[in-house]
Structure 1
Amino acid sequence: MKLEKRWISAFVIITVVAILGLFWPHQNSGAEFLTTKNINFADVAWLLTASCLVLLMTPGLSFFYGGMVGKKNVISTMLKSFICLGVVSLLWVTIGFSLSFGAPIGFTIDHVYYGVIGNPFDFTFFDQVEVMPNKNLAPTIPFILFALFQMKFAVITPAIITGALAERIRFISFLLFICLFTLIIYAPLCHMIWHPHGLLGGYFGVKDFAGGTVVHMSAGFAALAGVLVLGKRKKSEHIPTNIPFVLLGTGLLWFGWFGFNAGSALAANATAAMAFATTTIASAAAMMTWVFLDRLNGRKVSALGACIGAVVGLVVITPAAGYISIPQSIFFGFIGAIVSNFMVNWKKLKQIDDTLDVFACHGIGGIMGMILTAIFAEGENASLLHGGIAVFRHHMLALLLVSVFTFGGAYLLFKVTNFMIPLRVTEESEEIGLDQSQHGEKF
């Protein structure tokens, strides 16, 4: 009966949101808009395409994760990623976009105002998010297109977390957690790094081209926190159910990642082309490094290893995709694969039962990507190799702050979620498998 009341409450919330949007009053956010004459149609065409590519990554992630879990939990694992398309999209429209890109709310440093989070009332229910370009955020494309492109990043971030919690987390608890995570962890981090007046991007000079900190570090550390709160599965060992699913998922992720990284140039230009190239080369380098490293350590060359290596390469290159050269991208993939491979096989990390090694791949991959970006990146706010010692120092401090904020914040949110709705399924449900016990379906 308690479970039924929770679902009724969730439905009531959706109903209220659906009706409230019809009557939400128009707000004057003070945002500066240009006219439609400033729209570049090549940029619009590319960002529409890139948005579709990034959306495809979430179903791709579903296949990637679904193929790696036990047969009794394939559907439940895939659904937890896929459902983010619904949950986070609605959150983004109602308030998430405002919290991420609304007018800064923060404090003044050295006579400059920096934001920690956006004004939640600026773009509520996408108010003012229309066809006019925003002067400060994306001056050559309609503001609605910028908002939708960013929405796809918000969608896939909590979806990444699901791999660590697979085979033992209650579905409705997961829904509550991703709502809290999106609003309390993702949105402030997105604002601090990607808003022109955000604290980390503006004051610290953090260079995160497409989401090394915003997406991968936040998801990786949240996954680690979730594993510690949830505890181990009753039977930690399992055989991947469907390796072809993993191969398919990897292909979809790799394909979609071109929109993820190259689309982050927000224009059809040379930076997008370079990001496109560095993305695929880094992934190729990481995949081959992973395969050879497995063999050198006495493990067989496996399709699963090749896929994990490719995804790690994509993670590592993400923060630097538009800032580095092709030879440097090879080095990114090489180093990232070595470090993540070590972490995946590290016995102490295995003891906590991160089901699909989310922290070792996304968390560590994001950290390595950001460190290497601080060393090699070119352009404004020079990196370490280009004389930017102060920027490198700020980068490392920002990484520490992000790690503490995302891990500590997520740990607290998991505790709050567990207090409201128990996170773990019962032992009986875990034994039966979540496909059957949670969803009444069978793979």
Structure 2
Amino acid sequence: MDQGNTAFLLIAAALVLLMTPGLAFFYGGLVKAKSVISMMMLSFGSMGLIGVLWVLYGYAIAFPGAEGTLFPWSIDGSALGLNSLLETPEGAAYPPLAFVAFQATFAIITVALVSGAIADRAKFGSWMVFAGVWATVVYFPVASWVFNFGLAEDGSFAYGGWITHGLQDVFGVGAIDFAGGTAVHINAGAAALALALVLGRRVGFQKGANVPHNPPFVLLGAGLLWFGWFGFNAGSELAADGTAALAFVNTIAAPSAALLAWLVVEKVKDGKPTSVGAASGAVAGLVAITPACASLHPVWAIVLGLVAGAVCALAVELKFKLGFDDSLDVVGIHLVGGLIGTLYLGFFANNTGLFMGGNGAQLLVQAIAAFAVMIYSFVLAYLIGFVIQKTMGFRVKNEDEIAGIDTSVHGEEGYVLTDAR
């Protein structure tokens, strides 16, 4: 066992887990002061629920081995409760449980991302039901499509899901998604759009009606997300080597460029660059570079960041033009950013993109992967959310929304400014 790579993987897992509290701060700062606790609890609730489900059966669905490459999903019964993964095979690079822990943090952050679309108006219990069902029938199978590395006889991880391995059998190249542009960001963004449609618009929804109550929280959250993202991207190499170093550098380059591009768009469009824009631009760049971090020259990573920052800055305005209330721009940043990063690889991926290797098939498989995940996630998320809304109810009463759902749902206030004693 390579103790260096084991330590690298465990540290990466801890970094990715930190992203979910970072997301809680990022989202919490964007909402009204009277719903900050509710917003942050959606992320922390995801940590608790998905962490348990992953151990019980999530890993068994997401990583069923070679037999799990068929569309849409299967399950490895021996991995239920992680029973077959407690021992480290002779010659393995690291304990299987290290990989289990790393992938668990991906499942947690993906589910938490969806919650940004339903800020200020969702019941906590209904969200937890949705999170558990959506993770089971959408995230776990989609993770299998992309990441499904089974444990080979020599202790190494092999095989691959239909998006990576299966498409390669058909087109000669598989889709490139190094760290989860499809499985995490397109997946979460599509589900967020579906839930926004199911729950409907907030009371008084219009441009400028909902101002972020705490921009310092937003900046803190973005900083924690960026810090954790190094584990997300570089850690996906599963080894401390040159590929991890490239992913690390590109995780600096792309979001830096995206941050600048977003601020330029804000300055031109609105006259002032904002702190929330800087934070959002950085996150848009992080989203876009996620699938591409190990397959781009750093200069092309900068170009990707510029494109993602500018396009996502414009895309967040779509909700006002199209009339859907994606409260915290999960669609404009994660769905759009994930699509940009995934499709960009079809043009600029090292040695295989259309412009870097003359391979049109790479663009085709990138598009197949992106739109298959988007459609699958959107349809099932809409159905799950619709059933919850019609049975136990998903949205709080309008009067509770207006009064603030922190007190009505959790019995707490985010800011107690006077001492009543």
TM-score normalised by length of structure 2: 0.90
- Helix, strand or coil for the counterpart of 2:85? coil
- Structure 1 residues 91, 347: closer, same or farther in 2, change over 3 A? closer
Structure 2 equivalent of residue 353 of structure 1: 325
Structure 1 equivalent of residue 386 of structure 2: 415
Does residue 400 of the first structure (1) align with residue 394 of the second (2)? no
- Helix, strand or coil for the counterpart of 2:227? helix
- Which letter maps to 1:355? S
- Structure 1 residues 134, 127: closer, same or farther in 2, change over 3 A? farther
Matches within 5 A, 1:62-77: 62-77=24-39
Give the aligned length: 394
Matches within 5 A, 1:290-439: 290-346=262-318, 348-349=320-321, 351-378=323-350, 382-385=352-355, 386-439=357-410
Deviation for aligned residue 1:416: 2.2
* Farther-moved stretch of structure 1 (390-399 vs 173-182): 390-399
Matches within 5 A, 1:11-410: 39-104=1-66, 114=70, 116-133=72-89, 139-195=92-148, 196-204=159-167, 205-236=174-205, 237-346=209-318, 348-349=320-321, 351-378=323-350, 382-385=352-355, 386-410=357-381
- Structure 1 residues 128, 347: closer, same or farther in 2, change over 3 A? closer
User: Deviation string for 1:16-42 (max 9, x for gaps)?
Assistant: xxxxxxxxxxxxxxxxxxxxxxx2111
User: Deviation string for 1:117-140 (max 9, x for gaps)?
Assistant: 2324131011112241599xxx41
Structure 1 unaligned runs (5+)? Answer: 1-38, 107-112
- Helix, strand or coil for the counterpart of 2:270? coil
Separation of aligned partners in 2, 1:350 and 1:46: 44
Contact 2:189 2:334 in 1 (8 A): yes
User: Deviation string for 1:216-269 (max 9, x for gaps)?
Assistant: 001000000000010001132222111110111011000000000000000011
Structure 2 unaligned runs (5+)? Answer: 149-158, 168-173, 415-421
- Helix, strand or coil for the counterpart of 2:291? helix
- Which letter maps to 1:199? W
Separation of aligned partners in 1, 2:255 and 2:139: 25
- Structure 1 residues 163, 347: closer, same or farther in 2, change over 3 A? closer
TM-score normalised by length of structure 1: 0.86
User: Deviation string for 1:323-350 (max 9, x for gaps)?
Assistant: 1111011011001111111111236456
Contact 1:105 1:115 in 2 (8 A): no
- Structure 1 residues 389, 89: closer, same or farther in 2, change over 3 A? same
Contact 1:343 1:349 in 2 (8 A): no
User: Deviation string for 1:135-192 (max 9, x for gaps)?
Assistant: 9xxx411100000000000000010011110000111000000001111010111101
Contact 1:103 1:122 in 2 (8 A): no
Deviation for aligned residue 1:104: 5.0
Contact 2:20 2:109 in 1 (8 A): yes
Contact 1:116 1:198 in 2 (8 A): no
Contact 2:255 2:282 in 1 (8 A): yes
Deviation for aligned residue 1:397: 2.1
Separation of aligned partners in 2, 1:134 and 1:170: 48
- Which letter maps to 1:233? R
User: Deviation string for 1:359-407 (max 9, x for gaps)?
Assistant: 000000000000012221226xx22221322232122122222221111
Contact 1:93 1:125 in 2 (8 A): yes
Contact 2:63 2:76 in 1 (8 A): no
* Farther-moved stretch of structure 1 (394-403 vs 428-437): 394-403
Separation of aligned partners in 2, 1:299 and 1:121: 58
- Which letter maps to 2:193? L
Contact 2:345 2:366 in 1 (8 A): no
User: Deviation string for 1:95-134 (max 9, x for gaps)?
Assistant: 000000013556xxxxxx6353232413101111224159
Separation of aligned partners in 2, 1:290 and 1:201: 32
- Helix, strand or coil for the counterpart of 2:70? strand
Contact 1:104 1:118 in 2 (8 A): no
- Helix, strand or coil for the counterpart of 1:264? helix
Separation of aligned partners in 1, 2:74 and 2:51: 18
Separation of aligned partners in 2, 1:429 and 1:417: 19
Separation of aligned partners in 2, 1:120 and 1:243: 45
Separation of aligned partners in 1, 2:88 and 2:55: 17
Contact 2:292 2:345 in 1 (8 A): yes
Matches within 5 A, 1:1-12: none
- Which letter maps to 1:96? G
The CA RMSD over aligned residues, in Å, is: 1.6
The runs of 4+ residues in structure 1 deviating greater than 4 Å are: 347-350
Deviation for aligned residue 1:301: 1.0
